[in-house]
Chain A
Amino acid sequence: MSPAEPESNTYAEGAAPGDERADGQEAAEGVGNYLVGLGLATLLTIVSFFVARTTLVWEPSIPVALVVLAIAQMGVHLVFFIHITTGADNVNNVMALAFGVVIVLLVMVGSLWIMANMNHNMLPMDQLMRMHH
């Protein structure tokens, strides 16, 4: 590195996950941020518990609604509690998260798909038992 070059530090633009922006943010602002997160998460939780037991909506739609509500609530937690943002200082955190989400989806969807397919192709258990005799 030549002396004329300005000091370059690749970490300077980063932010740790969980850290709020450190540039002199007031504590009251931080508390307000957590309060918004708590309010939104509480709302989504109450709606989830209500939807799970309601008879007001078409029943097969309930699991889909629950999954959507859960994903929304995880998003609220990530934004307001873990402070993952779309800012330039958070690119590394978001990329790691995106990679994690891809693996989670592969494991979950892959397992369910393959096992459902195998169950579908297998003989019902009573017929299987009869074959052994």
Chain B
Amino acid sequence: MSAFQGTADRDEPNHVRNDSGAPDRRAAAAHAAHELAAKRIIVGYGFWIFLLSDIIMFSAFFATYAVLVGNTAGGPSGRDLFNLRNVGIETACLLLSSFTCGLASIGARMRSGFWFHGAMTVTFVLGAAFLGIEIHEFADMVAAGAGPTRSAFLSAFFTLVGCHGLHVTAGLLWLLTMMAQVVAKGYRADILRRILCFGLFWHTLDIIWVALFTVVYLMGVGQ
């Protein structure tokens, strides 16, 4: 008992100790189960706070973009550059991948390899399709002389949208890592916590994309 609790205490700096004499094994086991649940909540909460700080960083890029959107320096504006059909496909990819990411988290909870790996694979394909379209869009814009150095508007555009694209890239690498870790280590408690964090990350990227397609593309075309 003491060995288990000892590890638990080391892992949980904020653990409220229950020094009630010498509890029996069953109480210790219940206590340990409690600890595991608590750890999942602490990890999820900590990652949630990280994601909120990431959103605050994005809000600074959004504010920069909104301030500079009119400063085209005689170059092309969003109305000349944006293709809403592509943006619609990108949006569909990311939204569907958010859905399949949810299915993957259910698959992990059920310990179902078919659902977890199947849904994660679909999520990866959709995320990669999103990224491919975005890279293609960027390459076309640079080739047409509308690269990030053309105007303040385009600098802000590439910073904001590119930062989201980098997050998606990191998310795809993380996704592959999680699939590999489940294969190598199984549905251990720590792996399940990482899957929880990955899911939060992926859903948050989709939330940022909602703000992005609204502020950058839809409003840009309307202006």
Mark A residues whose CB is within 8 Å of B: 1, 3, 5, 7-12, 14-19, 22, 27, 30-31, 34-35, 37-38, 41-42, 45, 48-49, 51-53, 59, 62-63, 66-67, 69-70, 73-74, 77-78, 81-82, 92-93, 96-97, 99-100, 103-104, 107-108, 110-112, 115
Contacts and interface: CB of A to CB of B under 8 A. Distances in A.
Per DSSP, chain B at the interface is helix
A16 B45 contact: yes
Contacts of A93: 45, 48
Interface stretch (B96-104, B127-135, B176-184): B96-104
A70 B103 contact: no
Contacts of A69: 214
Contacts of A92: 45
Contact of B45 (A34, A77, A96): A96
Given A9-B16, A59-B222, A104-B56, 9 more contacts: A11-B38, A16-B44, A19-B196, A30-B109, A45-B95, A52-B84, A77-B203, A81-B99, A96-B52
18 contacts: A1-B17, A1-B19, A11-B41, A16-B43, A27-B106, A38-B96, A41-B95, A45-B91, A69-B214, A73-B210, A74-B211, A81-B102, A92-B45, A93-B48, A99-B52, A104-B56, A111-B64, A112-B67
Interface string B102-123: 1101100110000000000000
Contacts of B21: 3
Nearest to A77: B207
Contact of B98 (A77, A100, A107): A77
Contact of A108 (B66, B96, B222): B66
Interface of B: 16-21, 31, 34, 37-38, 40-45, 47-49, 52-53, 55-56, 59-60, 62-64, 66-67, 84, 88, 91-92, 95-96, 98-99, 102-103, 105-106, 109-110, 196-197, 199-200, 203-204, 206-207, 210-211, 213-215, 218-219, 221-222
Q: Which of A15, A18, A41, A53 has the most CB of B within 10 A?
A: A18
Given A11-B41, A16-B41, A104-B55, A38 B200 contact: no
The A interface is mostly helix, strand or loop, or mixed, namely: helix
A10 to B, nearest CB: 7
Contacts of A70: 210-211, 214-215
